[in-house]
Structure 1
Amino acid sequence: MKEVMAIIRMNKVNVTKKALSEAGISSMTARKVLGRGKMVNVHSIIDELAAPEEVAGKIAEGLAQGSRLIPKRMLNIIVPDDQVQKVIETIIKVNQEGHSGDGKIFVLPILDVVRVRTCERGIDAI
């Protein structure tokens, strides 16, 4: 089993969830995060975002306060090894625009999973 951890733009969450669901991947955890990559000029990234004005406003507000952290979403998806590539390809297909801030995907090993309700373990628990 693997965990696919994806950090994506806030305005891409719904289309990413839909695309993953259509690919047969429905279980995930999503959370709000703040972060930044190797950006040199934060203002050029704001210009590239093409995000809703609400998001751009939050980014500008954060920059004004000196935080320099961009609001993002982190998706955590646990899948069997044979589905990892499908998850990665689906996330890239929906999120890749060719701009700074398109996101990052990390793949981590999962040693075990236990479903609390039934005590099932491993693949049966996901």
Structure 2
Amino acid sequence: MKEIIAIIRPKKVVPTKEALEILGVPSVTAIPVLGRGKQRGIAAELNIDIHPDILAQGIMAGMKYMEYVPKRLLSVIVRNEDVDTIVETIIKVNQTAEIGDGRIFICPVDDAFRVRTDEQGDSAVL
């Protein structure tokens, strides 16, 4: 099993969740997070309009518009053979070719347990 951790724009959570449902992904954990990447907290993430020229000037001058940008962290536990399809889908839904599209991390999961039923392994997750 693998854990796919995706850090995405808040406005992309619903489309991502819908795309994962089509693939048959049974569960997703979504957590509001704050952070910044190479964009250094550029406010273009928010629902406000900033002219691209102003954004470019800020980047070149090393200005920060925000210390941290709101994002959503999605966590999905999947079978090893499903990783590529799910990652491709997350990228397809979230890729805008703009700064702030996010990151995806893939981590090994040694085991899983369903507390209610004592199921273990794949059956505890899927």
Q: Provide the C-alpha distance between the structure 2 equivalents of 1:11 and 1:19, rounded to a whole number of angstroms.
A: 14
Letter in 2 for 1:20: L
Partner SS state of residue 52, structure 1: coil
Letter in 2 for 1:24: G
Match of 1:117 in 2: 116
Q: Provide the C-alpha distance between the structure 1 equivalents of 2:36 and 2:12, rounded to a whole number of angstroms.
A: 17
Letter in 1 for 2:113: V
RMSD: 1.9
TM alignment of 1:27-106, pairs within 5 A: 27-39=27-39, 42-43=42-43, 46=44, 49=45, 52-53=47-48, 68-106=67-105
Partner SS state of residue 16, structure 1: helix
TM alignment of 1:12-23, pairs within 5 A: 12-23=12-23
Point out where structure 1 has 5 or more consecutive residues left out of the alignment: 57-65
Match of 1:4 in 2: 4
Which has the larger Rg? 2
Contact 2:40 2:67 in 1 (8 A): no
Shift of 1:23: 1.3
The 1:112/1:71 distance shift into structure 2, 3 A limit, reads: same
Q: How many pairs are equivalent?
A: 110
Contact 2:41 2:67 in 1 (8 A): no
Match of 1:61 in 2: none
Q: Which has the higher helix share?
A: 1
TM-score by length of 2: 0.81
The 1:40/1:72 distance shift into structure 2, 3 A limit, reads: closer
Contact 1:30 1:76 in 2 (8 A): yes
Match of 2:58 in 1: none
Point out where structure 2 has 5 or more consecutive residues left out of the alignment: 51-64
Shift of 1:24: 1.2
TM-score by length of 1: 0.81
Shift of 1:40: 5.0
Contact 1:11 1:52 in 2 (8 A): no
